[in-house]
Chain A
Amino acid sequence: MYKYNDFDAAFIAERNRQFRAQVERRIDGSLSEEEFRPLRLMNGLYLQLHAYMLRVAIPYGTLNSAQMRQLAYIAERWDKGYGHFTTRQNIQYNWPKLQDVPDILDALGEVEMHAIQTSGNTIRNVTADHFAGAAADEIDDPRPVAELLRQWSTDHPEFQFMPRKFKIAITGAPNDRAVIKAHDIGIQIVEQNGERGYRVLVGGGLGRTPMIGKVISDFVTEVDLLPYLESIVSVWNQIGRRDNKYKARIKITVHEHGIDEIRRMVEERFEQVRPTFGGIDQQLLAEIRESFAPPAFRKAEIDDYTRAYDSDPVFRSWIDTNITAHKQADYAIVSISLKAHGKTPGDATADQMRTMADLAERYGHDELRISHEQNVILPHVHNSDLAAVHTALKQAGLATANIGLISDIIACPGMDYCALATARSIPIAQEIATRFDELKLEHEIGPMKIKISGCINACGHHHVGHIGILGLDRAGVENYQITLGGDGTEDATLGERAGPGFSYDEIVPAIERIMNAYLAHRETEAETFLQAYRRLGLAPFKAALYPEAQANAA
């Protein structure tokens, strides 16, 4: 993992010192809220519905055990004993008090973490495939480049007052687990004629105008990557619309100018930018790469694992659902579900965080990841340790075997916390998970991604959910719109709106009707919901959702 150098440490300490003084001046009355607001947002501090909220960056979703323990400590010392992991691989604390925030930031600094650029019109936390460095299908670990981007974008003087926020995601594998096509810039590591390079997409995004990213370059070489990205952001920074915040994101710029024109402008800018990069970025990248060297994988007998798998059905179910193939023989990627049925998606208590930190330290080469699907990953666990890991997780209430299933729901905080929300999302997720657990249909249904947003800004990625749920305020009542057939992978697709929305009480039964229709219409048990939807289209699901309309038409 990357270790801060003297420059990083001094930079964070200085920023924290500045913010401490800014908070003091706000409290003693020398700064107005108008003056203070942009300063607090630069440091990740929001004011939400019931309290302040601090959003802490987890760069490319990677943590070590000491960092996870510090997150637990902060949750207990200054918050209400838990944290909320988000769809951008961040952690949010929902209850900090203003005067405590400088101490929290110092505590983060102690473990090389910060909350810089988790808000505001800047380049936000760079996200990456949560299986980076471990996945069997990976060409290369995307995290060295993600770290390079973190350093390049942090306090980048040209990119502090942009038309709007800017999000970058990177994957090193052809199977996209980082939703790169729904980001302002998406990067995929590729190989061409034996040379390593980058496919770069631009103009993706969700929100009120969802767009799938377009390829701006099929192959950018390693030395050209950073100047090329700088050229993209620079072009948009100049021509992006500042007159209308709803048209300010780069997806609209790409849509209005066309990808070919944007490509031409970027290439023109690149001619100017390229010579200003004297190779220092490549030197840095080489150093960063060393710190992401694979762990010292070990060899051990796996007889106990095989025996446990054959004899313990609970363990077997967990293995079959929560384990992903590792690139190293006899190793596994463990996904720890933060979606226990009926609990808040993405929340972990301080004790749970400590359990996960201990497991990472003891069995996982000291590495943890946060996924955009709001789960925690132990990326490197030897098969012989899986039974012990499972036992410990069970004791901590973390052994739910539901990764990729109907109760593994993404949900934004919604109107339970967020000042922007138009409806709640968390209780909808809780009730869907509880309902399908009661029905015992979860494993029968198979792969299913439900994603819920409590407003049009789509933090819950509802457009790319197999089932998307969007909570709105319709004449003073919560109302939930359903979209179907969305997909956030390399085949990224925006879901199709099914029809009129449902009330809070109607939405869970509506989801149940969709599932029953799927089970009735699928050709075989192997045909997933998404495959069935692509074969059948909206009609049979619409009929299930709106039986009255069907009856009236007959």
Chain B
Amino acid sequence: MPRAFTPKVITANALLEGDVVYLTADDIWTRDLDAAELLEDEAHAQLRLIEAQARVHEVVGAYLADMKPSPHGPEPTHFREEFRRTGPSNYFHGKQAEKNHV
């Protein structure tokens, strides 16, 4: 039996800055995971990914990342995505230092 589909967001790295971005429901790349569109339907997710991957002049390497819903928005289920949305643990750099930057 195929595994049940788990919720996901579309994420990538921005072309110029290289930092982590997420796709919102209204097709904007955001730096803020809370604002990302949580995709709970597999067919819809695949379609959104194709659309995202076509935006090759804005982002690099778009993919579907596993998330779970929360009151604030999508939450990572794996530590890799947790680090991507936070930044490195040895310095206060990256997303954690640029909270309000969009």
Q: Which residues of B contact A430 (CB under 8 A)?
A: 90
Q: Which 5 A-B pairs have the closest CB atoms?
A: A416-B88, A52-B18, A51-B18, A50-B94, A29-B57
Known: A49-B84, A51-B17, A477-B79. A32 touches B94 (CB 8 A): no
List chain A positions with a Cβ less than 8 A from chain B. 26-27, 29, 32-33, 47-52, 80, 94-99, 344, 347, 415-417, 424, 426-427, 430, 473, 476-478
B101 beta carbon closer than 8 Å to chain A: no
B87 touches A344 (CB 8 A): no
Query: Who on chain A is nearest to B77 by CB?
Result: A476
Between-chain CB contacts (< 8 Å), 10 pairs: A26-B15, A48-B18, A50-B94, A51-B13, A96-B18, A415-B80, A416-B88, A424-B83, A476-B77, A476-B79
The answer, among B17, B18, B78, B89, for a CB contact under 8 Å with A424, is B89
Known: A52-B18, A97-B17, A98-B16. A427 touches B56 (CB 8 A): no
List chain B positions with a Cβ less than 8 A from chain A. 13, 15-20, 56-57, 60-61, 77-80, 83-84, 87-91, 93-95
B19 touches A33 (CB 8 A): no
A95 touches B93 (CB 8 A): yes
Q: Which residues of A contact B57 (CB under 8 A)?
A: 29
Known: A98-B16, A415-B83, A426-B89. A47 touches B61 (CB 8 A): yes
B16 touches A27 (CB 8 A): yes
A49 touches B90 (CB 8 A): no
The answer, among A27, A50, A477, for a CB contact under 8 Å with B20, is A50
The answer, among A47, A80, A476, for a CB contact under 8 Å with B78, is A476
A51 touches B90 (CB 8 A): no
Q: Which residues of B contact A49 (CB under 8 A)?
A: 20, 83-84
Known: A49-B83, A50-B95, A476-B77. A417 touches B88 (CB 8 A): yes
A473 to B77, CA, bound (A): 13
A416 touches B89 (CB 8 A): yes
Smallest distance from the beta carbon of A198 to chain B beta carbons, Å? 40
A33 touches B18 (CB 8 A): no
Q: Which residues of A contact B93 (CB under 8 A)?
A: 50, 80, 94-95
Q: Which residues of A contact B91 (CB under 8 A)?
A: 80, 344
A89 to B27, CA, bound (A): 43
The answer, among B19, B80, B89, for a CB contact under 8 Å with A51, is B19
A427 to B90, CA, bound (A): 7
B18 touches A97 (CB 8 A): yes
A96 to B18, CA, bound (A): 8
A50 to B89, CA, bound (A): 12
Q: Which residues of B contact A476 (CB under 8 A)?
A: 77-79
Smallest distance from the beta carbon of A53 to chain B beta carbons, Å? 8
A40 to B78, CA, bound (A): 30
A97 to B13, CA, bound (A): 12
B77 touches A50 (CB 8 A): no
Query: Who on chain A is nearest to B82 by CB?
Result: A415
A33 touches B56 (CB 8 A): yes
Query: Who on chain A is nearest to B93 by CB?
Result: A80
Query: Who on chain B is nearest to A424 by CB?
Result: B89
Q: Which residues of A contact B60 (CB under 8 A)?
A: 33, 47
A478 touches B15 (CB 8 A): no
B79 touches A478 (CB 8 A): yes
A51 touches B78 (CB 8 A): no
Smallest distance from the beta carbon of A195 to chain B beta carbons, Å? 50
Smallest distance from the beta carbon of A36 to chain B beta carbons, Å? 9
Smallest distance from the beta carbon of A478 to chain B beta carbons, Å? 6
A435 to B13, CA, bound (A): 36
Given contacts A427-B89, A473-B80, 20 further A-B contacts (CB under 8 A): A26-B15, A29-B57, A48-B18, A50-B18, A50-B19, A50-B84, A50-B87, A51-B17, A51-B19, A80-B91, A94-B88, A344-B90, A347-B90, A415-B79, A416-B88, A426-B88, A426-B89, A426-B90, A476-B79, A477-B79
